Amino acid sequence: MFARSYLYVPADNAERLAKSVNRGADALIIDLEDGVSKTNKELARKNLAEFFAQVDPATQIWVRVNSGPEELAKDLEASVHKNCQGIVLTKVSSSAEIENLASLLATLEQQRGLESRIEISALVETATGILNAHEIACATRVTRLQIGEADLSAELGISGAGAESTKQFARNMIIFASAAAGINPPLAAISADFKDLAEFRRTTMQFKEWGYLGRSCIHPDQILIVNEVFTPSKVELENAQDLLDRLSAAGGGVALDANGRMIDEAFAKAARRTIEMGR
Which tops the pLDDT comparison, 58 or 21? 21
- The count of other CB atoms within 10 Å of the CB of residue 61 is 22
Same domain (yes/no): 38, 138: yes
Minimal CA–CA distance to 268: which of 276, 279, 183? Answer: 276
Kind and range of the H or E run holding 133: helix 133-137
Minimal CA–CA distance to 125: which of 163, 167, 164? Answer: 167
User: Would you state the pLDDT for residue 253?
Assistant: 82
157-190 burial string, b = 16+ CB within 10 Å, else e? Answer: eeeeeeeeeebeebbebbbebbeebebbbbbbbb
User: Would you state the pLDDT for residue 1?
Assistant: 61
Residue 256, domain extent? 234-278
Task: Evaluate whether 270 touches 211 at the Cβ level (below 8 Å).
Answer: no
What is the number of residues in the chain? 279
User: Would you state the pLDDT for residue 154?
Assistant: 95
Same domain (yes/no): 239, 114: no
User: Would you state the pLDDT for residue 144?
Assistant: 97
Same domain (yes/no): 161, 247: no
Q: What is the Cα–Cα distance from 89 to 214, expressed in whole angstroms?
A: 18
Same domain (yes/no): 168, 270: no
- In sequence order, which ranges of 55-125 are alpha helices (DSSP H)? 69-79, 95-111
Give the whole-number percent of the chain exceeding pLDDT 90.
80
Same domain (yes/no): 82, 15: yes
Same domain (yes/no): 151, 78: yes
Q: For residue 263, name the pLDDT band (cuts at 50, 70, 90).
A: confident
CATH number at residue 156: 3.20.20.60
Same domain (yes/no): 159, 241: no
Same domain (yes/no): 264, 201: no
Minimal CA–CA distance to 219: which of 1, 51, 2, 35? Answer: 35
Same domain (yes/no): 19, 143: yes
User: Would you state the pLDDT for residue 121?
Assistant: 98
How many distinct structural domains can be found in the chain? Answer: 2
User: Would you state the pLDDT for residue 11?
Assistant: 97
User: Would you state the pLDDT for residue 2?
Assistant: 79
pTM, to two decimals = 0.91
Q: What is the mean pLDDT of the chain?
A: 93
Same domain (yes/no): 50, 125: yes
Task: Evaluate whether 147 touches 133 at the Cβ level (below 8 Å).
Answer: no
Kind and range of the H or E run holding 256: strand 255-256
Please compute the mean of the pLDDT values over residues 75-104 and round it to a whole number. 96
Task: Please identify, among 211, 229, 247, the residue that sits at the C-terminal boundary of a domain.
Answer: 229
Same domain (yes/no): 206, 243: no
Same domain (yes/no): 222, 166: yes
User: Would you state the pLDDT for residue 59?
Assistant: 80
